[in-house]
Amino acid sequence: MNHDPDMVSDAERKMQFLYALRSKGVTDKTVLEAMEAIDRGPFIRGLFAGRAYEDMPLPIACGQTISQPSVVGLMTQALQITPRDKVLEIGTGSGYQAAILSKLARRVYTIDRHRRLVQEARTVFEALDLNNITAITADGSFGLPEQAPFDRIIVTAAAEDPPGPLLAQLKEGGIMVLPVGQSDAVQHLIRVRKTADGLEYDEMRAVRFVPLLEGLGKDT
């Protein structure tokens, strides 16, 4: 038995984590189940590992960040993923978002410009037996033409406008969710739906993401 009042049990921590998600608007049952199934701990290494269950963005390797869980939840919810979907993520980072997508979709492709992040994320996917994710090192602004079109696309780095190749690789009836805006100013999450008549945009909340950069990254 644990009598130390400062020690919070795993079950309590999980309940607090899910409560924080719900209170910030993540209400979709399948999304909450996926987020309950994927432990954020293994995606965070080093100094910040102990803070994995707080609703905060945290630093990861290569000067990047793992997103705030409630933002991951809201973006995932906005994608309205169905079990047959093929999903493309730009910005693998820690791999946490891709792991959640993998619980909801048939197939997930995730791209990052940092080889080291892609390699580390692959190791976690293997350890967690997430076999429907393919992680690729590339400049994701160009999408993944050989696997297009995609039912859903999520970008987890901010561009000034939705990249043209990604819009082109979205299936008709498909949904894309991404932050747009300048990297040093307020960005907004937007949802783009591709219909027979063209693109429909709606704006969600203000956010702050690292910028979508050109070319491959120098690993640090």
Q: Does 140 help bind ligand SAH (rule: CB under 6 A)?
A: yes
Shortest distance (Å) from residue 113 CB to ligand SAH: 4
Shortest distance (Å) from residue 83 CB to ligand SAH: 21
Q: In angstroms, rounded to a whole number, what is the distance separating the alpha carbons of residues 179 and 162?
A: 9
Shortest distance (Å) from residue 65 CB to ligand SAH: 5
Q: Tell me whether strands 170-180 and 187-195 are parallel, antiparallel or unpaired.
A: antiparallel
Q: Does 194 help bind ligand SAH (rule: CB under 6 A)?
A: no
Q: Does 79 help bind ligand SAH (rule: CB under 6 A)?
A: no
| Active-site residue identified among 9, 23, 67, 141 | 67
Q: Does 90 help bind ligand SAH (rule: CB under 6 A)?
A: yes
Long-range CB pairs of 182-187, under 8 A, 24+ apart, other chains included: 182/158, 183/158, 183/210, 183/211, 187/158
Site string for ligand SAH, 168-187 (x = CB under 6 A): --------------------
Task: Identify the sign of the CA torsion 65, 104, 77, 158.
Answer: positive
Say whether 183 is catalytic: no
Q: Among 165, 167, 217, 219, which residue sits at the site for ligand SAH (rule: CB under 6 A)?
A: 217
Q: In angstroms, rounded to a whole number, what is the distance separating the alpha carbons of residues 112 and 101?
A: 16
* 11: enclosing H helix or E strand: helix 10-23
Letter for the amino acid at 11? Answer: A
The site for ligand SAH (CB under 6 A) is made up of: 64-67, 90-91, 93-94, 96-97, 111-114, 117, 139-141, 156-157, 210, 212-213, 217
Give me the active site residues, please: 67
